[in-house]
Structure 1
């Protein structure tokens, strides 16, 4: 009888140990899944980041002068500053930017899209007989706080921009993915 009692006690201890190990593993797994859900919820709660601007303040920008687009059509996330012409990324991620520039007849321009001072996309534009417009852009990974702007990239430019009812100079960007 004593041997059976000892055997039952050992069995009970083994079962108790197995139960505790299972409970610990399940608790750990549940905590990991809870953390994953919190991270996913955070991603879903992030607001969209997008801007679209037009109307250039200075139609004859000099080299190294940021082209300032003063009218915002949309500025979700408040990243674009209409007083400086600079987009500051509110969050890091993969962004798509687009620039559309129009010129007066007989003018030419070399315009760049810059990320923290480095040209990430550029365009040249010229037509001797007609007003001309061109569009260029880039998809680029931007860190939170980094800045993006548009400016002439060379002094070898007779850049008189054109904007009227039929032509708009624009600068836009959208966060594609976090």
Structure 2
């Protein structure tokens, strides 16, 4: 009887120890879960902080990108404007050089269309225009107006009847630039005269009779004898 009671007491003691061990194990598990929950909360907080930082960083990058983009656009626009200004300046410089170097086509030639008699002081009009580059010769007045500054050459040719005399001058604004005497020594002989003149734009050139020297028809014109007035810009 005593032995049975002793064994029961020992069994009771062992069971108490087992229960205590289980309780201690449960307490440990609870502590572990509690610690894990704490760590999980800390992890969630860290995740939220990282997300907030990521959002802030993305916003900052976007703002910087916009700022840099605007700055780059402004710099590109300034560079484009400067480039256009530089090109315009270079074009103007090249145009000025071209204007200084390039000699435009200025030339004319006209002739009489019939025999004529002339008197002193008369401007000889050559009505038939052979060419008129630059459109500076007026076939109605017989006068040429210089379109640009430069060196010009003018030539006259007259065919006179036998024993007739003609003195003409190539005039520039009423100033004689050349005076030539034509005399019909042979059969309707043709002679020439010329001059070179450095002129400015707007000056007027014509052929004027300085002395007829004879009466009646002096200048003879036909298909084989052309009386002409010509001129050309040779250098600007």
TM-score range, shorter chain: 0.7 to 0.9
CA drift of 1:56 comes to 5.1
Structure 1's consecutive aligned runs of 4 or more residues displaced over 4 angstroms after TM superposition are 43-46
Number of the residue aligned with 1:164: 222
RMSD over aligned Cα atoms? 2.4
SS where residue 153 of structure 1 aligns? Answer: strand
The answer on 1:113 being equivalent to 2:165 is no
- Kept after mapping to 1: 8 A contact 2:146/2:200: yes
- Kept after mapping to 2: 8 A contact 1:57/1:69: no
SS where residue 94 of structure 2 aligns? Answer: helix
C-alpha change, 1:78 and 1:57, in structure 2 (3 Å) is: farther
CA drift of 1:86 comes to 0.4
- From 49, 57, 61, the counterpart of 2:118: 61
CA distance in 2, matches of 1:164, 1:155: 20
CA distance in 1, matches of 2:211, 2:167: 6
Structure 2's unaligned 5+ residue stretches are 1-85
Number of the residue aligned with 1:27: none
- Kept after mapping to 2: 8 A contact 1:58/1:67: no
Number of the residue aligned with 2:62: none
Q: Which moved more, 1:75-84 or 1:120-129?
A: 120-129
- Structure possessing the higher relative contact order (Cα contacts under 8 Å, 6 or more residues apart): 1
CA distance in 1, matches of 2:133, 2:233: 10
SS where residue 96 of structure 2 aligns? Answer: helix
Structure with the bigger percentage of helix: 2
- From 133, 145, 153, the counterpart of 1:96: 153
Structure with the bigger percentage of strand: 1
C-alpha change, 1:155 and 1:73, in structure 2 (3 Å) is: closer
CA-to-aligned-CA distance 1:61-116 (integer Å, 9 cap, x gap): 21111000001111011110000000011112100110001111221111111111
C-alpha change, 1:119 and 1:157, in structure 2 (3 Å) is: farther
CA distance in 2, matches of 1:58, 1:174: 26
CA distance in 2, matches of 1:102, 1:128: 11
**How many aligned positions are there?**
149
- Kept after mapping to 1: 8 A contact 2:114/2:222: no
CA distance in 1, matches of 2:103, 2:164: 43
CA-to-aligned-CA distance 1:145-166 (integer Å, 9 cap, x gap): 1000001112544461001111
Structure 1's unaligned 5+ residue stretches are 1-29
Number of the residue aligned with 2:43: none
TM-score, structure 1 length as denominator?
Answer: 0.74
The answer on 1:135 being equivalent to 2:192 is yes
Number of the residue aligned with 2:180: 123
CA distance in 1, matches of 2:114, 2:147: 24
CA-to-aligned-CA distance 1:122-162 (integer Å, 9 cap, x gap): 11122355211110101111111100000111254446100
